Structure 1
Amino acid sequence: MLTTRLDLARIRAARRDIDPIFLDTPLYQCDALGRELGCTVSIKLETANPVRSFKARGTELFATLLAGHGGTAAVCASAGNLGQALGWSGRRRGLDVTVVASRRAPAAKLDRIHALGAELELVDGDFEAARERAVSIAQQRGVRLLEDSLDIETCEGAATIGLELADRAPSFDAVLIALGGGAMATGVGYVLKTLSPDVEVICVQPLGAPALTRSWHQRRVVTTDSTDTIADGVAGRYPIPAVLDDLLAVADDAVLVREASIVTGMRMLLERAGQVVEPSAALGVAAVLEDRDRFAGRHVATIICGSNVDLDAYHHWVRT
């Protein structure tokens, strides 16, 4: 039995609190992409919802519990997607939502946070600076702080993706999961290792933001002084110890990929699957590109986790 913070019964129950619009996202075998990569590839489209990422699965749980206990406000730090998701879930439940983000976050993500009615505060520095400011706001205002990956709702919300994959898992040899703070990797990994233990769970992170991958390999928290990647959604520097413990229990491997492979993966998803994705969503494809022999002849599934991308930057990347 796996020893983690997650619970399968709670994950199954979570489906009742998550708006069905975020559940049962498309999952299909993409033959054109598979022919290009030399293996069978299925893609799970977590972009097919109002906030264009998987994050709302977790914020739906969080906002339901907060409102149910009489809470009226919440604050989070976000690279962009979590803020949109919390704005969407909070607005539906009458919560006042504040999102703290880096000024360097993609403008498209910041604009959508505004559009959802959340208060947006920008800080200099990276995501870690935003996280420090969010903690300060929560203390000053006496409101609930949502910490992605640390708050179990974010992990167990994401874990409902695993339930949907597990229904088809006998056909998969491996599932490739983008690794940032760890909510999706620990959630999906936990469900798969509980229900379909033969499926290999492989986490993928950019070489320019390697903190949690290095931590997994060294079995201790490893921090970095900076990040350097276009995959802003997974660019953390300080892994959370409890999340690392969960990840060690459910991940079979954690790999790092180069920026050039991420860009190629984005281009291939556009040309072979018709999907405009943000860099984090192409990490699984990048992992296959960098180790074709490992995946040759196998059936891999990869989670397309977000499509909130700045179009000017996107056009530059895919045309380079």
Structure 2
Amino acid sequence: MSFPPKPWPVTARAIDEAASLLESVARVTPVESSRALSTYSGQPTWLKCENLQRSGSFKVRGAYVRMSRLSAEEKAAGVVAASAGNHAQGVAVAAASLGINAVVYMPSDAALPKVAATREYGAEVRLVGTSVDDALTAAKQEAQATGATFIHPFDHNDIIAGQGTVAREILDQVPDVATILVPVGGGGLLAGVAAYCAQRAPHVTVVGVQAARASAWTHSLVHGEPTTTDVASTMADGIAVSTPGVHPFEIAQRAKTRVVTVSEEDISRALLYTTERAKLVVEPAGVAGVAALMAYPGQFEGPVVAVLSGGNIDPNVMLRVVRHGLVAAGRFLVMKVNLIDRPGALATMLFDLASQKANIMHVDHVRTGVDLAIDEVEVTMQVETKGPEHCAELLEFMRSRGYRLSST
């Protein structure tokens, strides 16, 4: 005796209905072809620009769908949320659109531009604790005490349905897409994209991409259930979640979704690449799909669409990450050289570097140190180069001139 298949927790029809709800709120973000990435990956490649979405990320989609379906009494009681950035701004925009009072808890050290943006969108921001977990605890306590509805960042089927509208747009914009690469943290976006494709375009492969330092999904898929994993510091803080959501995990597992990880160097190279070649400002978490394309060239069937999930990046963080990307791409070299402390020694070395077309960005000159002889100085230089080959040539040239050096 055969039984009908178990219904999907989030149906394609529910995602279509969510798209109708979002027509006047969320933008249909563009997809941009990337000749450079296509050449690099060996497959036709497109970028789905959710970094250009209202509030700067896809989060407004799920937040609005979830909040629009609250009862009149629930809307009157307000909503509460917790986030370090993108979910906070998505909730604030959705609440303003629906006329709902919103309180958002954020860590005390949350990036100032994200705090300011959340307030400007109309939410009341309360800073508490030192982590998102502290903010979550405070938000849940607020919901219990006041009767406000807690808006989870990813673990609710209405949130998943809203995020799934990204897949609906991709299938319209790139009908022949074969692979969709999705940054994954808690899993709301991944589950929404996977659910829609499994039901409407089962030939499309959906791949989640997570930072290797926060790889809760890979461990959870091995164990067959959401598993808490220690999260190390990662520049992709927007997807640094220690435990996948229960609802997203159920959907992703049923859709047989694969998850790959990328290193910090992969992420920084991808961010530099999207900034230089695609002319797009994207946050580190948002370029995870591009990072996977660059880290595993030729391993994804094309055409490929990489979702750029958000563009909310603190300018100070942008500077640090771009510098990291330059190092990872072999375009930036930090070199330490020990010189005899005599007049003209530093000038001679700088002239030698200039003769090799190396652009010196910064120089530190230290005369005292436990590893230095009495007549030595240590010079640390930040040097801009033309790429890995130029770095190697430069180091070999310096050694051939008799300089004692090490690169970092």
TM, length-normalised to structure 2: 0.74
In structure 2, the residue matched to 1:318 is 322
Equivalent-residue separation in structure 2 for 1:4 and 1:215 (angstroms): 21
Task: Give the secondary-structure state (helix, strand or coil) at the position aligned to 1:61.
Answer: helix
After superposition, residues 1-320 of structure 1 pair within 5 angstroms as 3-66=7-70, 68=72, 70-72=74-76, 73-168=78-173, 170-295=175-300, 298-320=302-324
Work out the number of aligned pairs and report it.
319
Equivalent-residue separation in structure 1 for 2:269 and 2:295 (angstroms): 11
Higher RCO (C-alpha under 8 Å, 6+ residues apart): 1
Kindly provide the amino acid, as one letter, of the partner of residue 45 in structure 1: C
Equivalent-residue separation in structure 1 for 2:50 and 2:72 (angstroms): 27
Shift of 1:197: 0.8
Kindly provide the amino acid, as one letter, of the partner of residue 50 in structure 2: E
Contact 1:180–1:233 (CA under 8 A) maintained in structure 2: yes
CA distance 1:34–1:104, change in 2 (3 Å)? farther
Equivalent-residue separation in structure 2 for 1:228 and 1:111 (angstroms): 24
Map Cα deviations across residues 142-195 of structure 1 (whole Å, 9 max, x no partner).
Answer: 110111222222110011111111224542221100101111000011111111
Kindly provide the amino acid, as one letter, of the partner of residue 281 in structure 2: V
Task: Give the secondary-structure state (helix, strand or coil) at the position aligned to 1:90.
Answer: helix
Contact 1:169–1:199 (CA under 8 A) maintained in structure 2: no
Equivalent-residue separation in structure 2 for 1:113 and 1:102 (angstroms): 13
Equivalent-residue separation in structure 2 for 1:165 and 1:2 (angstroms): 26
Task: Give the secondary-structure state (helix, strand or coil) at the position aligned to 1:71.
Answer: helix
**Which structure has the bigger radius of gyration?**
2
Contact 1:4–1:245 (CA under 8 A) maintained in structure 2: no
Contact 2:18–2:161 (CA under 8 A) maintained in structure 1: yes
Map Cα deviations across residues 225-268 of structure 1 (whole Å, 9 max, x no partner).
Answer: 33321111111112232321111012431011101100110010
Contact 1:170–1:196 (CA under 8 A) maintained in structure 2: no
Equivalent-residue separation in structure 2 for 1:49 and 1:241 (angstroms): 26
Provide the alpha-carbon RMSD of the alignment. Answer: 1.8
Sequence identity of aligned pairs in percent?
27
Shift of 1:19: 4.1
CA distance 1:274–1:54, change in 2 (3 Å)? same
Equivalent-residue separation in structure 1 for 2:194 and 2:170 (angstroms): 10
Equivalent-residue separation in structure 2 for 1:298 and 1:94 (angstroms): 43
Contact 2:194–2:257 (CA under 8 A) maintained in structure 1: no
| Structure 2: stretches of 5+ with no match in the other structure | 325-408
Contact 2:139–2:150 (CA under 8 A) maintained in structure 1: yes
Moved more, 124-133 or 265-274: 124-133
Task: Give the secondary-structure state (helix, strand or coil) at the position aligned to 2:154.
Answer: coil
Equivalent-residue separation in structure 2 for 1:265 and 1:130 (angstroms): 30
Contact 1:186–1:247 (CA under 8 A) maintained in structure 2: yes
Equivalent-residue separation in structure 2 for 1:226 and 1:254 (angstroms): 17
Task: Give the secondary-structure state (helix, strand or coil) at the position aligned to 1:171.
Answer: coil
CA distance 1:227–1:130, change in 2 (3 Å)? farther
